[in-house]
Amino acid sequence: MINTEELCDAQGVADLVGLRHPNSVHTYLRRYADMPRPVIDLGPGRPRLWLRPQIQAWLTTRTPAPVVAAGVGPLSAGPGTGPIAGVAGIVAERVVT
């Protein structure tokens, strides 16, 4: 049985993970095979819901990557790059699009 008070939507997951936009949760689902999947998925264009404790447990297993300042270091590739908030706000990643 699922405790409905522990459910969160993509915005809730984004907040927990430290993402700016709930659409980024879909990117994380593709990028991280070990990320918990929604416990309720009503289909395309419909809500998906995760269990907050599963997301929180997943966050504790993530190894923090070194923080890279914008425009500094080997990952600063100029246009087409941008910082993405990392796990629980402690990791910053640079992604080349």
What residue spans define the domains of the chain? 1-62, 66-97
| CATH no. for 1-62 | 1.10.1660
The pLDDT assigned to 30 comes to 93
The pLDDT assigned to 3 comes to 84
pTM over cut 0.75: no
CA distance linking residue 11 with residue 91, whole number of Å? 19
For the stretch 58-86, pLDDT in tens is 999 886 655 555 554 444 444 444 444 44
Give me 39's structure tokens: 């416990």
